[in-house]
Amino acid sequence: MSTLRFFALKESLSRLPITISENKKRSELFGKHVFGKEAMRQVLSHEAFQAVEAAINTGAKIDRLMADSIAAGMKQWALELGATHYTHWFQPLTGATAEKHDAFFEQTPEGNAIEKFEGAKLVQQEPDASSFPHGGIRNTFEARGYTAWDPTSPAFILDTTLCIPTVFVSYTGEALDNKTPLLRALAAIDHHATEVAKYFNKSVSKVTATLGWEQEYFLIDSALAASRPDIMQTGRALLGHAPAKGQQLDDHYFGSIPARALNFMKDLEQQCMFLGIPVKTRHNEVAPNQFELAPIFEEANLAVDHNSLIMDLMDRIAERHNLKVLFHEKPFAGVNGSGKHNNWSLATDTGVNLLSPGTTPMKNLQFLTFFVNTIKAVQDNEELIRASVASASNDHRLGAHEAPPAIMSVFIGKQLTAVLDELEKVTDGKLSPQEKTDLKLNVVGKIPEILLDNTDRNRTSPFAFTGNKFEFRAVGSTTNCAKPMVVLNTIVAKQLKDFKNEVDKLIDKKKMKKDDAIFNILREYIKASKKIRFEGDGYSEAWEQEALKRKLSNHSSTPEALAIQLDKRSVSVFEEMAVMNSVELKARHEIELEEYIKRIQIESRVLGNIAKNHIIPTAIRYQNLLIKNVEGLKNIFANDYENLAQEQIALITQISKYIGDINRDINAMVESRKSANKLNIKERAIDYNKNVLPFFDTIRYASDKLELLVEDKLWPLAKNRELLNLN
Ligand code: ADP
Ligand code: MG
């Protein structure tokens, strides 16, 4: 066995589970490192506290003097908890989080030291932003970027740093991050959903989008990971034969959690408690070494921040346990990949979940209104939804018969299908009193309050209604939830705005009663959004055929999927909802295409290097052993050796063939890259997908065959069966 692999295996096997002492109740730790209401009440003046509250609830501005007072309180709180530094914490378009730490420590002119943090530093900063992706925004406007405090997501202490969640925008106001458009989309849905909710309850004054994400991930031993340049550099195994025993026996899903993984989870969960992340669920997933983590749902902006924070936290904590977290959507061929379901709903400030059926016909009409509008929004913008989760890594998952297909569709279940079928029959125009009573009693009134029926679930649907929320399942495990949340909230906001206009028109012009008008518009929406509804098996071949007939999009690759972002209609939806302007949309489009190209380019280079520097030399070494053996046989058995060495000779020939295949394909792949690099960004992305990516499979095929042929002792890379074993 190669030295590196030998030591890695030895180290991995000798690692004992690290135990974490937990002597405090979780609830006692909850939010202790968050500058939330409780902390604010303790250190802020009443005025300062109210200023923050107003900023959170109504977006009110905080003046300089007040900011100084808040900063002073924040500093006092942070220093007491041992913080030495502060940072504006933001989410640039790399999809990760960014931070630049500054010490509180400052020197006075007299040479003494003090801890300082004033309002100006809290409210706004200028990170050296030139090296974050900006898709030409900054070139166009010659503007610098700055970060600005987002009071709706509370500051927190990570290790010894006070982290202040911020937006990141250019001086001309264009968003350079994921949070800015999210906040704008959440403002849009708040406004338009509130307007519609008022049809049913006049005292609703705010609607909040809620998000409950479910994060899937793999854990592998860090020493073994270190022997794999592909995993270290690309986050996935570009080669390696699938283990003989993978997930065929279904013995991992919900099985007992391996001790090392469990200790990592406990440690992680404890940190989450301090940071106010309400983690609730943990379990094994389908593939070996695959797990899932889910918190209780939260307001969408906070939930997005918490997901970004937890991904960062997981990397850090895994290190302490000699583990490596793989967030990639498809780290290992032959076993399931990872996703990040986004459970989404809308909640009013009167405590009602707008996607939860109620106890009265009126409450159910409200439910149906939001339910049908969401379906209509998804139908009219299915390509935008698809684009919001497109990435090089998620391409491995969507449509690969283990995750939702690349075709967007909505599943609602039998009961609600029956309700919508009935509503479709509603009379055009004013309803007779009899019809209305019938409708209310027998259709709307019959929707059971509890729809959370586990038997009526369809795991193959990318966008499923699950009783009191929609679950968007096509989101990739690496995706920043802000992206799908921006699109979903924007399109539903726009849909609700149109709905209100149409209902009001019927009330004004046709003198209809409010509920007559609502029934009439809903009926039209139900008719118009039939093509997006699908209750069958989303993984099946038949659905692909059917979807084609329905003219639903089926973009299997990122470059194809992203094209819709620049479509005139998409741009106008984002502009109308004041979420993004055409400059911002174009910038994002370019950044995403470029990221796609870079990811494939890096993978292609890494694969070429490993194949040439590890696989081929190892195969030749083993082939030389075989050749020596054949020579020896020839020396001893002279005439009869060909018979005796038959298998060895066959092996020698096979190895030569695979070496030849790999060399040929690597050379061809490099040529393809060269010609792709000459094209413009859009064509380049398509070319990388069509002409570079296919070589990954053929090179892998030959390399994995060699892995099976070559003596184990000689193989230099940790094998996938070794990586997929935590015990
Ligand atoms: P699963 O989808 O795994 O069967 P559940 O249906 O129990 O599990 O819930 C999945 C996720 O849905 C949880 O993370 C939960 O926080 C989230 N969730 C529940 N209600 C809401 C809601 N009103 N808004 C957003 N997310 C929600
Ligand atoms: Mg789920």
Span 429-445, pLDDT tens digits? 888 989 888 888 888 88
CA-based angle 329:214:418, to the nearest 5? 105
Predicted confidence (pLDDT) per residue in 69-116, tens digit: 999 999 999 999 999 999 999 998 887 788 888 899 888 888 888 888
Which of 127-136, 239-248, 391-400, 680-689 has maximum average pLDDT?
A: 680-689
pLDDT digits (tens, 9 = 90+) for 302-339: 999 999 999 999 999 999 999 999 999 999 998 899 99
pLDDT(452) > 70: no
The residues spanned by each domain of the chain are 31-177, 186-580, 595-723
What is the rounded average pLDDT of the residues 165-192? 93
Ligand nearest to the CA of 481: 1
pLDDT at 16: 57
**Cα–ligand 1 centroid distance for 212 (angstroms):** 6
Q: Which atom of ligand 1 is nearest to the CA of 344?
A: 25
Compute the distance from residue 468 Cα to the ligand 1 centre, in Å: 9
pLDDT tens digits, 658-674: 999 999 999 999 999 99
Is the pLDDT at 610 greater than 60? The verdict is: yes
Helices then strands (H, E): number in the chain? 28, 17
**Helix extents (H) in 119-178:** 119-123, 137-141
Mutational test site, ligand 1, from 469, 473, 481, 489, max ligand atoms within 8 Å of CB: 469
What integer is the mean pLDDT of 377-404?
91
Q: What percent of the chain has pLDDT over 70?
A: 94
- pLDDT value at 577 more than 70: yes
Q: Are 106 and 56 in contact (CB under 8 A)?
A: no
pLDDT of 218 above 50: yes
Beta strands in 143-262 (DSSP E): 145-149, 156-158, 161-170, 207-221
pLDDT band at residue 287 using 50, 70 and 90 as cut-offs: confident
Return the sign of the alpha-carbon dihedral for residues 274, 278, 284, 287: negative
Architecture category of domain 31-177 in CATH: Roll (3.10)
Task: Tell how far the Cα of 529 is from the centroid of ligand 2, in angstroms.
Answer: 24
Ligand nearest to the CA of 283: 1
Whole-angstrom CA distances from 115 to 42, 157, 171 are 20, 16, 30
Closest-lying ligand 1 atom to the alpha carbon of residue 294: 14
Q: pLDDT, tens digit, for every residue of 533-551?
A: 999 999 888 999 999 999 9
pLDDT band for 137, please (50, 70, 90 cuts).
Answer: low
Residue 168: φ, ψ to 5°: -130, 110
Residue 292 has pLDDT above 80, yes or no: yes
Ligand 1: residues with CB < 6 A are 210-212, 214, 294, 296-297, 343-345, 353, 466, 468-469, 471
Say if CB 380 and CB 551 are below 8 A apart: no
Write out pLDDT tens, residues 243-286.
877 777 667 666 788 889 999 999 999 999 999 999 988 888 88
> What angle do helix axes 482-509 and 361-380 make, rounded to 10 degrees?
120
297 Cα nearest atom in ligand 1: 16
Q: How far is the CA of 652 from the centre of ligand 1 (A)?
A: 56
pLDDT of 709 strictly over 60: yes
SS3 content of the chain, % helix, strand, coil (to 5): 55, 15, 35
Average pLDDT score over residue span 32-41: 94
Q: For CA atoms 149, 154, 155, 158, give the dihedral sign.
A: negative
End-to-end Cα, the chain, rounded Å: 21
Mean pLDDT of the chain: 91
* Minimum-distance ligand 1 atom for the alpha carbon of 295: 14
Residue whose CA is at the smallest distance from ligand 1 atom 14: 212
Determine the length of the chain: 727
- What's the pLDDT at 406? 92
Q: How far apart are CA 286 and CA 253, in angstroms?
A: 4
**Crossing angle (nearest 10°) for helices 482-509 and 179-197:** 30
Q: What percent of the chain stands above pLDDT 90? A: 72
Q: What is the mean pLDDT of residues 510-526?
A: 95
Q: Please say if the pLDDT value at position 21 is more than 60.
A: no
Residue 142: pLDDT band with limits 50, 70, 90:
very low
Residues 345/452, Cβ–Cβ less than 8 Å: no
- Reported as type and span, the H/E element at residue 292 is strand 290-295
| Interatomic CA distance for residues 276 and 268, integer angstroms | 12
Least confident interval from 51-55, 109-113, 179-183:
109-113
Question: Which pLDDT does position 640 carry in this prediction?
Answer: 86
Task: Report, as an integer, the average pLDDT of 278-296.
Answer: 90
- DSSP β-ladder status, 85-89 and 298-299: unpaired
pLDDT at 17 over 60: no
Ligand 1 centroid–CA 297 distance in Å is 7
Name the CATH topology of 595-723. Answer: Four Helix Bundle (Hemerythrin (Met), subunit A) (1.20.120)
User: Which atom number of ligand 1 is nearest to the Cα of residue 355?
Assistant: 23
| Substitution site in 189, 285, 292, 297 for ligand 1 pocket (most atoms within 8 Å of beta carbon) | 297
Q: What's the pLDDT tens digit per position in 227-236?
A: 999 999 999 9
Q: Which two tokens stand for residue 63?
A: 């003046």
CATH superfamily of this structure's domain 186-580: Glutamine synthetase/guanido kinase, catalytic domain (3.30.590.10)
- Both structure tokens of 251: 């013995």
What confidence tens digit (pLDDT) does each residue in 684-706 have? 999 999 999 999 999 999 999 99
Residue nearest (by alpha carbon) to ligand 1 atom 11:
212
Buried b (16+ CB within 10 A) or exposed e, 505-543: ebbeeeebeebbbbbbbbbebbeebeebbbbeebbeeeb
Q: What separation in Å is there between the alpha carbon of 294 and the centre of ligand 2?
A: 9
Nearest atom in ligand 1 to 468's CA: 23
Contacts 24+ apart (CB under 8 A), 244-247: 244/721, 245/721, 246/287, 246/288, 246/334, 246/335, 246/724, 247/286, 247/287, 247/288, 247/335, 247/336
Residue 471 alpha carbon to ligand 2 centre in Å = 7
> Are 287 and 332 contacting, i.e. CB atoms less than 8 angstroms apart?
yes
According to the model, what pLDDT value does residue 19 have?
53
Residue type, 645: A
The best mutation among 304, 343, 456, 485 to test binding of ligand 1, ranked by most ligand atoms within 8 Å of the C-beta, falls on 343
Which residue reads 């509130």 in tokens? 194
Atom of ligand 1 nearest to the CA of 466: 6
Phi/psi of residue 564, each to 5°? -60, -25
User: If you average pLDDT over residues 213-223, what whole number do you get?
Assistant: 96
**How is residue 63 annotated by DSSP?**
-
Say yes or no to pLDDT of 23 above 70: no
